Amino acid sequence: MSSRRKFIRSVAGGLAGGLTPSKVLGANDRIRLGFIGVGERGMELAREAALCSNTEVSAVADVYSRRREMALELLPQARGFEDARRLLDDAHIDAVVIATPPHLHGQYVLAALDAGKHIYVERTLAFDIDEAQRVRRACQQSAGKLMVQVGHQACSSGLMTDALKFVQSGKLGKITMIEAHMFRNTPHGKPQWARPVYPDMTPEHICWEAFLGSAPKREFDAYRYANWRLFWDYSGGNVFENMSQQAAFWFRALNLPVPLAATMRGGILRWKDGREVPDSMSVVLEFSDDLLFSWISGFGNNQLGVGESVLGTDGTILKSQQIRFLPQKVNQPKGEEILGDTPTPPRAHLQNFLDAIRSGHKPNCCFELGYRVSVACRMAVESYRQQRTIRWDASREELI
């Protein structure tokens, strides 16, 4: 068996034996970051990191040579690796940012914990229930020595500060429904998420085995590599991409648990281009405290945009680019509208992660919150794929 296969097997098994920081950082110490995955999102975060004080992007790893080369042009002080193991083995790197396709998140979180690195991982935390549970156990074993921040950025926003004030004020009354939506549109002939296949997307320039990770084995396919968002082996579709972001905000603000049940319906109604994940969908999450979270999304019309409404007997929270509280006059006749006004600092979520490393304080989207969101998202996807309601057995922590 090759060393790469041993690596994939070991991290998939969640060995996580080290779980202690490679070195202890003081409040003023420079944090050296390694990036695993430097595509569009990875480079966005790398640019943010470069603007954070006393922080350095020391290394990048990507399975595609073009991405490594482009990253190193912008980050000349960094070292580049095809193999993420070499980055993780570097004792000088304090923390890693994982911005790979979602099916690789869990394996790299486990490997980074085992290497003693703090972790910022893009959403979602894990790809399936078993992986989410192994990641959570490994994070718990670190006993707070290693910080793990999940990339649900709105958890560090001014909108969150205002939402918490509204919720804690008691002015909402009993909340029974959260309605969320996310709609997009693209020009004719330009399918949402479709990416070009470049001439150098070949086995000589892409380490295909590392890209597959624990996904089903198959022959090299440049289209699947470039368009991983369209296939279930590597993607949770728009549930993982965008529902997770909107849900995470309210999971934090309302301290929501894993839902009791999830029902998802939809289909490929707009872009019949060979994709497996739906482009139009409706999700309902049912919670134990008489609460429903509903989310609808589509890629054929953007009129409704993105937004969420939290509906209580005494008031409503409306959230989009701004957030505000509206009283229900039937129960609060003298209530007044309140507009949230807390600004979001630049690079807030990444900075919160860096601050957590230095202070030892829990980050705004810790692994436990990321765990609950990733389980809820997997429940929704399984409901769609199995065409039935998926339930959660909280005592056994498994799907039924």
Nearby residues of 213 by Cβ (< 8 Å), 6 or more positions away: 8, 12, 103, 104, 107
pLDDT in tens, 113-139: 999 999 999 999 999 999 999 999 999
Which among 380, 103, 126 has a CA at the least distance from the CA of 232? Answer: 103
Instruction: State the Cα angle at 138 between 133 and 139, rounded to 5°.
Output: 95
In whole angstroms, give the CA distance from residue 374 to residue 371. Answer: 5
**pTM above the 0.85 mark?**
yes
Instruction: State the Cα angle at 325 between 324 and 328, rounded to 5°.
Output: 145
Which among 243, 218, 199 has a CA at the least distance from the CA of 377? Answer: 243
pLDDT value, residue 142: 87
pLDDT value, residue 26: 58
Domain edges within the chain = 3-155+350-367, 158-191+233-344+377-399
Q: Which DSSP helix (H) or strand (E) runs through 368? A: helix 367-386
pLDDT in tens, 228-256: 999 999 999 999 999 999 999 999 999 99
Q: How confident is the model at residue 289 (pLDDT cuts 50, 70, 90)?
A: confident
Which among 154, 118, 150, 162 has a CA at the least distance from the CA of 29? Answer: 118
Q: Which two tokens stand for residue 27?
A: 């409040």
Name which of 6-15, 71-80, 142-151, 239-248 the model is least confident about: 6-15
pLDDT at 372 over 90: yes
**Which residue is listed with tokens 């992660």?**
353
393 alpha-carbon distance from chain centroid: 24
In whole angstroms, give the CA distance from residue 3 to residue 399. Answer: 34
On whether the CB atoms of residues 370 and 152 are closer than 8 A, the answer is yes
pLDDT value, residue 24: 60
φ and ψ of 157, to 5 deg: -90, 165
φ and ψ of 336, to 5 deg: -125, 150
CATH number for region 158-191+233-344+377-399: 3.30.360.10
Which among 102, 84, 93 has a CA at the least distance from the CA of 207? Answer: 84
Q: In what order do the strands lie in the sheet with 55-61?
A: 79-81, 55-61, 31-36, 95-98, 118-122, 148-151
Per DSSP, the residues of 147-189 read: -EEEE-GGGGSHHHHHHHHHHHTTTT-SEEEEEEEEE----TT
Question: What is the rounded average pLDDT of the residues 371-382?
Answer: 98
CATH number for region 3-155+350-367: 3.40.50.720
Helical pair 105-114 and 3-12, crossing angle rounded to 10 deg: 90
